[in-house]
Amino acid sequence: MMGKPGPDRSSQGVASNVAPGPLSGLRILELGHFVAAPFCTRLLADIGAEVIKIEPLSGDPVRNWGEQLDGQSLWWSVHARNKKSVALNLKSSAAIEIVLDIARACDVLAENFRPGHLARLGLADEVLRAANPNLVIAHISGFGQTGPYRDRAAFGVIGEAMGGLRYLTNHEQESSATPPVRTGISIGDSLAGLYAAFGILAELWQREHSPGRRPVGRVDVALTEAVLSLMEGMLPEYGALGKIRRPSGSRIPTAAPSSAYRSADGKWIVIAANSDALFLTFMRLIGKPELANDPRYATNPARVENVDSLDRIIEAWTSTLVSEALVAMLSEVGIPCTRIYDASDCSSDVQFAARGMVREIVDPLLGSVLHPGIVPYHPESPGDVRWPGPALGQHTDEVLGELLKLSPAEISELRGQGAIS
């Protein structure tokens, strides 16, 4: 019934007047849900990859997350942008065959189900590899594909907690009365997605530059490990000194001054003047140059030791000036600083606007929507937001017809069987 996919890679979506991204020509199959794998593939799609996202007939759960406009998720517009949505019933053997046929025409498969779930569907690694020996397979899960916790359920917040981040995001004075503060976004998932994107590109490099040196590999990313890997000196400090890094609130424990200070108009200004040269410049600006030679503040270790008294001195100065004046004065003398931004500040910032980091996108489901720009930025081939998050199954017929070469009658038959929507 099903035709074999051809080698054509020209179907990359809506035409754009922006040079295609550096991953143009790369085709990725996403079997992801919620955040981690979809975030990984969104990053790759932003810089040119063609991503075919397989969704259940009910849709990815993120379609119903966050603020809604006319019943449509605003987050979805960004989360699934530049992807093709194919809606399949993976309980159907015909749908599994469709997945395998798509995999034959892809370079990469990215997924974030629990370990073993794809195998139970009939999509084990060896099955996928038999369909396409050159397929890079990226697994993202809570604890990885091996180990005693392999089968435990996990979301990003579990990675943040177990990887050590949630402990450090608490207020400086730990309190058993309130839980440690989280970051406000699913950062554990996004970190895992970033690492998966990095791992995918590493495997593709190996495949292209050392063919035959070893079999095409897999990528195995755990949410917990993605967070733990970012924790700077936390582990060596404990291993060598028995010291447990503690929450430090607005500060960092390794440098001072580096904190948020209240301005006269009630805004918070982050000031990072922690090198000796910057500290001297800062003290001259606030009219206290003698503090740069004071033994309590002359070196960074001394400033860290006496950070409470130092921050009181700094805030006594910041509290006399409005935030706009503070940022202007500090920037003029080269002190790293900023007002702490909310969404309104980000959307109106001239630097973000100049680099295309805040973009107005026309979404057929929502109208005009603000999107973040593309990171990393490749000036010569920057990629583009080719289209926002698609409607459920928007590209099912396109992918099955153009990529898999199925006839309208075959597609209609699959729809009648309940294998696709």
Cβ 186 vs Cβ 156: under 8 Å: yes
pLDDT at position 129 over 70:
yes
- Each residue's pLDDT tens digit, 334-343: 999 999 999 9
- Each residue's pLDDT tens digit, 263-286: 999 999 999 999 999 999 999 999
Catalytic residue among 46, 107, 189, 363: 189
- Each residue's pLDDT tens digit, 180-219: 888 899 999 999 999 999 999 999 999 988 877 777 889 9
pLDDT band for position 17 (50/70/90)? low
CA angle 236, 239, 245 (to 5 degrees): 65
CA angle 408, 91, 143 (to 5 degrees): 125
Q: How far is CA 148 from CA 151, 154, 196, in A?
A: 8, 14, 22
pLDDT band for position 249 (50/70/90)? confident
CB atoms within 10 A of CB 359: 15
- Each residue's pLDDT tens digit, 285-338: 999 999 999 999 999 999 999 999 999 999 999 999 999 999 999 999 999 999
φ and ψ of 113, to 5 deg: -80, 170
pLDDT at position 175 over 70:
no
Amino acid at 397: D
For residue 19, what pLDDT is reported?
A: 77
pLDDT at position 413 over 60:
yes
For residue 7, what pLDDT is reported?
A: 31
For residue 176, what pLDDT is reported?
A: 61
Amino acid at 244: I
- Each residue's pLDDT tens digit, 42-58: 999 999 999 999 999 99
Higher local confidence (pLDDT), 214 or 239: 239
pLDDT band for position 170 (50/70/90)? confident
For residue 179, what pLDDT is reported?
A: 84
Mean pLDDT over 57-61 rounds to 96
**342 tagged catalytic:** no
For residue 20, what pLDDT is reported?
A: 85
Residue among 341, 381, 339, 338 at smallest CA distance from 358: 341
For residue 16, what pLDDT is reported?
A: 56
Cβ 66 vs Cβ 74: under 8 Å: yes
Numbered ranges of CATH 3.40.50.10540 in the chain: 27-229+357-417
Q: Which CATH class is domain 27-229+357-417?
A: alpha beta
Positive or negative, the Cα torsion across 146, 152, 153, 155?
A: negative
Cis peptide before 376 (omega within 30 of 0): yes
Numbered ranges of CATH 3.30.1540.10 in the chain: 258-262+268-339
Query: Rounded to an integer, what is the distance from CA 83 to the centroid of its chain?
Result: 16
For residue 215, what pLDDT is reported?
A: 78
- Each residue's pLDDT tens digit, 342-373: 999 999 999 999 999 999 999 999 999 999 99
CATH architecture type of domain 258-262+268-339? 2-Layer Sandwich (3.30)
pLDDT band for position 5 (50/70/90)? very low
pTM of the model: 0.91
